[in-house]
Amino acid sequence: MTEVAAGAGIETKVFDMLATLGPEREDVTGEALLEDLDIDSLDVVEMAQWAEEEFDVPVDPEKFVGSKTAGDLASRLAAIVAEARGG
Protein backbone atom coordinates (compact mmCIF):
# COMPACT_ATOMS: atom_id res chain seq x y z
CA MET A 1 0.00 0.00 0.00
CA THR A 2 1.37 3.45 -0.82
CA GLU A 3 1.69 6.03 1.92
CA VAL A 4 -1.03 8.20 0.37
CA ALA A 5 -3.48 5.32 0.24
CA ALA A 6 -2.64 4.35 3.84
CA GLY A 7 -3.22 7.95 4.94
CA ALA A 8 -6.54 8.09 3.11
CA GLY A 9 -7.63 4.86 4.81
CA ILE A 10 -6.76 6.28 8.19
CA GLU A 11 -8.67 9.48 7.44
CA THR A 12 -11.88 7.58 6.70
CA LYS A 13 -11.48 5.50 9.85
CA VAL A 14 -10.82 8.61 11.96
CA PHE A 15 -13.85 10.39 10.53
CA ASP A 16 -16.02 7.32 11.15
CA MET A 17 -14.71 7.18 14.72
CA LEU A 18 -15.33 10.90 15.33
CA ALA A 19 -18.91 10.42 14.11
CA THR A 20 -19.45 7.91 16.94
CA LEU A 21 -18.74 10.73 19.41
CA GLY A 22 -21.75 12.80 18.41
CA PRO A 23 -21.57 14.64 15.08
CA GLU A 24 -23.40 13.45 11.97
CA ARG A 25 -21.04 11.47 9.75
CA GLU A 26 -21.67 13.75 6.77
CA ASP A 27 -20.55 16.76 8.81
CA VAL A 28 -17.18 15.18 9.56
CA THR A 29 -14.97 16.38 6.71
CA GLY A 30 -11.31 17.31 6.49
CA GLU A 31 -12.09 21.01 6.89
CA ALA A 32 -14.70 20.63 9.63
CA LEU A 33 -13.66 22.51 12.76
CA LEU A 34 -13.51 20.32 15.86
CA GLU A 35 -15.28 23.09 17.75
CA ASP A 36 -18.20 23.00 15.30
CA LEU A 37 -18.34 19.20 15.58
CA ASP A 38 -18.43 19.57 19.38
CA ILE A 39 -15.30 17.42 19.66
CA ASP A 40 -13.50 18.45 22.86
CA SER A 41 -10.09 17.60 24.28
CA LEU A 42 -11.40 14.52 26.11
CA ASP A 43 -12.84 13.27 22.82
CA VAL A 44 -9.35 13.62 21.35
CA VAL A 45 -7.94 11.54 24.22
CA GLU A 46 -10.61 8.96 23.45
CA MET A 47 -9.70 9.02 19.77
CA ALA A 48 -6.05 8.44 20.66
CA GLN A 49 -7.01 5.45 22.78
CA TRP A 50 -9.16 4.12 19.95
CA ALA A 51 -6.29 4.61 17.49
CA GLU A 52 -3.92 2.60 19.68
CA GLU A 53 -6.31 -0.33 19.55
CA GLU A 54 -7.21 0.13 15.88
CA PHE A 55 -3.67 0.49 14.54
CA ASP A 56 -1.77 -1.29 17.29
CA VAL A 57 0.77 1.50 17.77
CA PRO A 58 1.35 3.79 20.78
CA VAL A 59 -0.55 7.05 20.32
CA ASP A 60 0.23 9.93 22.68
CA PRO A 61 -2.81 12.24 22.95
CA GLU A 62 -0.39 15.16 23.42
CA LYS A 63 0.51 14.88 19.74
CA PHE A 64 -2.91 16.23 18.83
CA VAL A 65 -2.71 19.40 20.92
CA GLY A 66 -3.50 22.39 18.73
CA SER A 67 -5.46 20.45 16.12
CA LYS A 68 -8.24 22.59 14.70
CA THR A 69 -9.97 20.34 12.19
CA ALA A 70 -10.92 16.70 11.73
CA GLY A 71 -8.39 16.63 8.89
CA ASP A 72 -5.64 17.80 11.29
CA LEU A 73 -6.38 14.89 13.60
CA ALA A 74 -6.34 12.41 10.73
CA SER A 75 -3.11 13.67 9.20
CA ARG A 76 -1.33 13.79 12.56
CA LEU A 77 -2.47 10.25 13.29
CA ALA A 78 -1.36 9.07 9.84
CA ALA A 79 2.09 10.52 10.58
CA ILE A 80 2.22 8.79 13.98
CA VAL A 81 1.21 5.45 12.47
CA ALA A 82 3.68 5.80 9.59
CA GLU A 83 6.50 6.66 12.00
CA ALA A 84 5.68 3.81 14.36
CA ARG A 85 5.69 1.38 11.47
CA GLY A 86 9.03 2.72 10.31
CA GLY A 87 7.55 4.33 7.21
Partner 1 sequence: MSANGRRHADGAALVTGASRGIGAATAHALAAAGWPVGVSYREDEQGAAAVVASIEEAGGRAIAVRGDIADPEVVQATFGEVEDTFGRVLVLVNNAGVRRDKLAASLSDEDWDGVLDVNLSAAFRTTRRALRGMIRARFGRIVNVSSAIALRANPGQANYAAAKAGLIGLTRTVAAEVASRGITVNAVVPGYIDTKLIEDVPAESFRAVPARRAGTPEEAAACIGFLASEEASYITGSTVAVDGGLTA
| x-marked contacts with partner 1 along 2-41 as a string, rule CB under 8 A | ----------------------------------------
DSSP letter string over 67-87? --BHHHHHHHHHHHHHHHTT-
Q: Does 42 bind partner 1 (CB under 8 A)?
A: yes
CB–CB of 29/66 below 8 Å?
no
User: For residues 16 and 25, is the Cβ–Cβ distance under 8 A?
Assistant: yes
Q: Tell the smallest beta-carbon distance from residue 6 to partner 1 (Å).
A: 24
Return the bridge partners of 69, or none: 33
Q: Are 50 and 17 in contact (CB under 8 A)?
A: yes
Among 33, 45, 65, 84, the residue binding partner 1 under the rule CB under 8 A is: 45
Q: How many residues bind partner 1 (CB under 8 A)?
A: 7
Residues that bind partner 1 (CB under 8 A): 42, 45-46, 48-50, 61
